Amino acid sequence: MKKYKRGYTQGVFDMFHIGHLKIFEQAKDICDFLVVGVNSDQLTFARKNKKPVISLKERMEIVEAIRYVDLAFEVNDPDHYVHVMRNKCDALLVGDDWKGSEKFNALEQRLSAHGVDVVYLPYTKNISSTILRDKKDDSVDG
């Protein structure tokens, strides 16, 4: 039996890479049902001041096709708390690069009042959509 019944994770999942896959795999290892929020283009632009390379429709198709993901939906509200509570999750699963941040320290307190754990999963170093975007921009077109 897995430690959690329902786990929630959220991200842009642009230029899908091995780091994304590992987060889903590790999350599914500890929860029975994995819920994934995929940030909308508008939310991504508001938070990162750049648009995703891959359209929301295609990012949703990719995430929904991953065998570890049980439910995926578009996210327009950046508040993880809302999505965790709405989906009746007992764990929020995030990369350990967020551990100790002011945002997630506050979120841990809010969620723990409802019996929800924040679980930090090992972040895959040296890979991100930003790194891939930079490599793409640096490449020489033939």
Residues known to be catalytic? 48, 50
Which H or E run contains 10?
A: strand 4-11
Enter the tokens of residue 94: 């995030």
Give per-residue pLDDT as tens, 4-54: 999 999 999 998 888 899 999 999 999 999 999 999 999 999 988 889 999
**Residue 49 φ then ψ, to 5°:** 60, 30
Domains identified in the chain and CATH numbers: 4-136 (3.40.50.620)
Give per-residue pLDDT as tens, 66-106: 999 999 999 999 999 999 999 999 999 999 988 999 999 99
CB of 127 closer than 8 Å to CB of 19: yes
Rounded CA-CA distance 90/33 in Å is 10
Res 127: pLDDT: 52
